Structure formats: C-alpha cells, structure tokens
Amino acid sequence: MSQTETAAVADRRLPGQLPAVVVVTGTGGDGLGSVTARLLTDAGTQVIGVDLAPVAEYPGYTHVAGDVTAQETWDRVDALLGAAAPGRLGLMTSAAYLEVGTVLDLDPDVWRKTYEINVLGTVLAMRTLLPRMIAARDGSIVAIASIDAEFAEQQLVSYCASKAAVLQLARTAALDHARDGVNINCVCPGPMRAGLFQRHMQSADDPQKFLQTRAARQPFGDIPYPRECANVALFLLSDAAKGMTGAQVMADGGLTTGFDFRTGDEGSSA
C-alpha cells in the first residue's frame, strides 16, 4: 500500500479534528467531565478544567478551582485562554448538581442551587467563550443536559426541570450563533456508572436492587460508563459535527429508544 493510500486509511479512522483548546466544567471526581478531559488530552488537545474541587494537573490539563456560578472563576478561565496558543476553541459544560426529592420535599434553596449550577453555570461558560469563538468565526460547544430534559424521572423534579432549561438554552444559542461559525449541540446522557447516578443509587433503600432494576431496563443490560458518553461528546466537539447544530443527542445506551425493553423474563408474547 502506498503512503497516500495509508494516509487515506488513517484519515478514515479519524472522525474529525478536535479543537486545540477545550474548556471542560465538572472535572472533579470520576464522572463525565474528568473522563472527557482525559480523552481530550490523550488526543493532543489542551484542556482547561473547571471544578470547585481541586484536581491534580497532568500533561495537557490545567485546572481552575472555582464555582461555575461565580464570574470570578470565568475571569480566570478567560485569562488562561488569552495566554493559550491560538487555535480552534471548544467548550463542554458538564458541571451539575442533583438533589433527590419531590416538589414538596425540596426547599427553595435547593431549587436555587440546582438552577445556578446547572443553568447559570452553563450560561456564564458560554458568555466567556462565545466572544472568542465569534471573533474566530469557529468553535464548538457541547452542553450536557440529560434524558431527564425530555423524560420525567420520579423524585428528580428540580434536576429534570433544570436540564430541560439547559437543552433549550443550547438549542436557542445554536440558532443565535450559527451564522457566527459556532456549532452548539446538546448531549443527553442516561444513567452512567459515576457521579450523579451513584448518588441517586446510594439514596435508595436497597442500592443493589436499585442498580439491578435500572440495568435490566437498558437494551445492553448494563448501565453505561462515562467513557461511552464522552466519546459522543468528542465527536460533537470535533469539526466532523459541522453537519448538525442545535442537535439533541441521546447518549443513553438505547434506554429511550422505546417505551419498554423486554428482557425475556416476562415470558413470550407469541
């Protein structure tokens, strides 16, 4: 095989070029943000991570320890971007807060905190990075919502409502800034073996039964891991996703593809 043919084969394995620098929120812990940051740096992208918790820096990763709802945090991010090497810019907003409860259970302070982190944190991130993307007439934003933006889930009323707001924020911003060259899409993960799902599971009377019941609903028979969703986000951050904007991508292992998944345990329907 010639060098040209070899290069063509290699190109077919690459879905697209990732941005030179990506800002990722919610990089603390072992959830979607931290996994995505690792995948990006492995691919040669510089990552600026934002999380209230401290995160040890590693090659390609710079951490900003701060509250995503505070303008001061974003001023520090903007300063780092000003010092970064020029190149295509990306943003993924995965910082999130979840509190289990109903409308009657959750007091107004919980609602405020949920909306500030999940919605206002996304707004401030966009307000910081969009001007740079518009000036370059290029850039990609992936807002992390949830299947709960579209489908209600019991005892997660404040989370569901906030993620619906994130979805509409991303879709409207996508229309507002498409002619500026900025591509904005929304990933809606289902349950993942990390972070918020783990917290929800641990709140159950029988966490193991909770896990088994939820896993049985999944077409693949297991709760997806963050890396599976992170790979979807990487595609949307890349320039290969230019054929879609304002899209709502369900990264849920097929959970919402149908209203009911039959495992066979219920017997034959024939």
Q: What is the pLDDT along the chain (270 residues), one digit of tens a residue?
A: 455 444 444 444 456 899 999 999 999 988 999 999 999 999 999 999 999 999 999 999 999 999 999 999 999 999 999 987 678 999 999 999 999 999 999 999 999 999 999 999 999 999 999 999 999 999 999 999 999 999 999 999 999 999 999 999 999 999 999 999 999 999 999 988 887 677 777 778 888 888 888 888 898 888 889 999 999 999 999 999 999 999 999 999 999 998 888 877 776 655
CATH number of 16-191+225-251: 3.40.50.720
pTM of the model: 0.90
CA distance 129 to 4: 38
Residue 74 neighbours by CB distance under 10 Å? 22
**Domain ranges for the chain:** 16-191+225-251
CA-CA distances (angstroms) from residue 146 to 2, 9, 196, 249?
Answer: 46, 35, 11, 10
CA distance 260 to 129: 40
